[in-house]
Chains A and B, each alone.
Chain A
Amino acid sequence: MAEILQYFMLFLIVLMLALALFAVKTKDLLSAVIASGFISLVASIVYLYLQAPDVAMTEAAIGAGITTLVFVITVRKTKGKEK
């Protein structure tokens, strides 16, 4: 059981890194924003594994929720496309 959990964590980490790279690389700002929101979401799962439920909650609510929302609004307001 513990082993599976560890592999799952490894998968999540790889996923985070991939999302981070995608967020940096993509030309579409909205996708980048969504990707960075997903990083936070994945991070909050990782925090649960790391025995930090408080932080996990905060990260999910603030990092993945509010931050992403603020980003999305900004992207919309600035007609977001990267040159």
Chain B
Amino acid sequence: MRKIVAIFFLTIVGLYMLSLFAQIPFGKPYKGVSEHYVERGIVENRGSNLVTSIVVNYRGFDTLGEVTVLFLAATGLSFLLFSCKCLREFKRIRSSLVLRTATDTLFPLILLFGAYIFIHGHLTPGGGFQGGSVIASGVMLLFLAYRSFHVNHKALSTIESLAGITFAGIGLVGLIYAKSFLANSVISLGQWNKLFSAGLIPFIYIAVGFKVGAELSGLISDMISTTKED
């Protein structure tokens, strides 16, 4: 009964929305602010990756909020799972030699790759969020490989805090020196397609990378084990 009612009303809503999308042309040129972003993105930011320019610079405030959301989720999750005595520990079976060896070899590489992604966020696809989550997946690998692995929560949350403060602090620096919060033009923009370019974008993305990496690692660790030292 519930299924029928649900399908019925979902169909109605779906038909209305379909009628909307039928009016939106697919794959046709766009107009509006994006024209500005594309046309003047290099001029104003010197960053090759326009998406990064938008995410960190034009709409950097969104990203600050996004970082906050992730921070919130990590905080909320550890708040909810903290002191949850009732959780079963994973039965972490001793993993195979292959996995352990591979982990030993891969983990530094994964870290390096993650760092590469967020350092080159303004040049190539990827950025702080992607790099951070790659690093977190490395940490996850450690969890899988080693039975007794525990992350150091103090270190993680210190990194997280410092990275977050850096981000917001860079914003405030912009407010003080360039009269605008999160302004990019505090330092020189540099040259297009070079590593040290695009003003503050790489710095922000590095901070974001650290923060996201730390947060996601903490999140995974919170979920996997009841943290005792906390």
> Which 5 pairs show the lowest CB-CB distances between chains A and B?
A53-B125, A61-B133, A54-B51, A73-B223, A57-B130
Among B49, B90, B223, chain A packs the most CB atoms within 10 A around the CB of B223
Contact A65 B223 (CB under 8 A): no
B134 within 8 A of A: yes
- Known contacts A61-B130, A65-B133; is A70 also within 8 Å of B87 by CB? no
Contact B125 A57 (CB under 8 A): yes
- Known contacts A61-B130, A73-B224; is A66 also within 8 Å of B125 by CB? no
Contact B88 A77 (CB under 8 A): yes
B164 within 8 A of A: no
Question: Would you give the 0/1 interface string for A51-67, flagging 1 where the beta carbon is closer than 8 Å to chain B?
Answer: 01111111001100110
A27 within 8 A of B: no
B106 within 8 A of A: no
15 new A-B contacts, CB < 8 A, other than A54-B130, A61-B129, are: A54-B52, A54-B126, A54-B127, A55-B51, A57-B117, A57-B125, A61-B133, A61-B137, A66-B133, A69-B140, A70-B220, A70-B223, A73-B90, A73-B220, A77-B223
> Can you list 10 contacts pairing A with B, beta carbon distance less than 8 Å?
A57-B126, A61-B133, A62-B130, A66-B137, A66-B216, A66-B220, A69-B220, A70-B219, A73-B223, A77-B223
B136 within 8 A of A: yes
Instruction: Give the interface SS of chain A, mostly helix, strand, loop or mixed.
Output: helix
Give CA–CA (A61, B107) in the complex, Å: 16
Give CA–CA (A62, B48) in the complex, Å: 23
Q: Which residue of B lies closest to A58 (CB)?
A: B130
> Using Cβ atoms and an 8 Å threshold, which residues of chain A touch B126?
54, 57
Tally of A-B residue pairs with Cβ under 8 A?
Answer: 48
A31 within 8 A of B: no
Give CA–CA (A13, B141) in the complex, Å: 30
Closest beta carbon of chain B to A46's beta carbon, Å: 14
> Using Cβ atoms and an 8 Å threshold, which residues of chain B touch A73?
90, 220, 223-224
> Using Cβ atoms and an 8 Å threshold, which residues of chain B touch A55?
51
- Known contacts A54-B49, A66-B216; is A61 also within 8 Å of B134 by CB? yes
Closest beta carbon of chain B to A11's beta carbon, Å: 19
Closest beta carbon of chain B to A50's beta carbon, Å: 10
Among A56, A61, A70, A74, chain B packs the most CB atoms within 10 A around the CB of A61
Give CA–CA (A65, B126) in the complex, Å: 15
Contact A65 B49 (CB under 8 A): no
